[in-house]
Amino acid sequence: MELNVLNIKGKETGRKVKLNAEVFAIEPNDHAIYLDVKSHLANKRQGTHKAKERAEIVGSTRKIKKQKGTGTARAGSIKNPLFKGGGRVFGPTPRDYSQKVNKKVKRLARKSALSIKAKQKAIVVLEDFQMDKPHTKDYLKMLAALGLSDKKSMLVLGDLNKNVYLSSRNLKNSKVVTNSELNTYGISNANHLIISEGAIAELESILNR
């Protein structure tokens, strides 16, 4: 599969890039995508939730009322979960939600997600560019020139470019990552994938190890 290389003004540069079929044209494995996305979302959970149970409540140990003759059920402690301010029954406790996914499955999932984007013609190859300083308006102009200003997009760079990253940081529908930060969830969540020309060879190398 060959794609035209575009510049930041959305014009063709006359160069073409051939995408590796082993990365961008495989038969997608939906289950691998599911496992990797589920793991990614689970790993983002903090798991710091906590509710006090009966033994952790600070309160008087005095018997609330006499056991018989009240006409109501017996009650021995103000910490009883049935009372307001009492402990919670089987409340949440801090836990680790992280899930392990094998490297080969992760690699297969990313290849599958990229292949789906390629099949949908939702991949744009952009020539390498630099920004002298962070400027969100310039970044928005580039997205508009590519016809992606109103779509959710992800820009994949070969190396970290701080100015490009800062220019896109406060945009809701745009994200900038490097090859090493690219994950299945990010690929699937974006409507269009913008890959810098210099990042393609390294990306294919990472996913073909």
Res 138: pLDDT: 92
Dump pLDDT digits (tens) for 164-186: 999 999 999 999 999 989 999 99
Q: What are phi and psi of 120, to 5 degrees?
A: -80, 0
Task: Give the DSSP letter of residue 182.
Answer: -
Q: How large is the average pLDDT for residues 131-137?
A: 91
CB contact at 8 A, 201 and 195: no
Chain Cα centroid distance, residue 154: 12
Chain Cα centroid distance, residue 12: 31
Dump pLDDT digits (tens) for 57-85: 998 888 888 889 999 998 889 999 999 99
Res 19: pLDDT: 92
Encoding tokens for residue 139? 């970044």
**pTM given for the model:** 0.83
Q: What is the 3-state secondary structure (H, E, C) of 74-129?
A: CCCCCCCCCCCCCCCCCCCCCCCCCCCCCHHHHHHHHHHHHHHHHHCCCEEEECCC
Find the helix packing angle between 197-207 and 103-119, rounded to 10°.
Answer: 140
Lowest mean pLDDT segment, chosen from 27-36, 56-65, 100-109: 56-65
Number of residues in the chain:
209
How many Cβ atoms from other residues are within 10 Å of residue 196's Cβ? 22
Res 44: pLDDT: 94
The CATH topology of domain 2-45+98-207 is Ribosomal Protein L4; Chain: A; (3.40.1370)
Task: Give the DSSP letter of residue 67.
Answer: S
Residue 197 CA: distances (Å) to CA of 45, 112, 150, 174 = 34, 21, 23, 19
Encoding tokens for residue 99? 């899930």
Domain limits of the chain? 2-45+98-207, 48-96
156 SS3 class: strand
Q: Which of 27, 31, 6, 29 is nearest to 16 (CA)?
A: 6
How many Cβ atoms from other residues are within 10 Å of residue 71's Cβ? 5
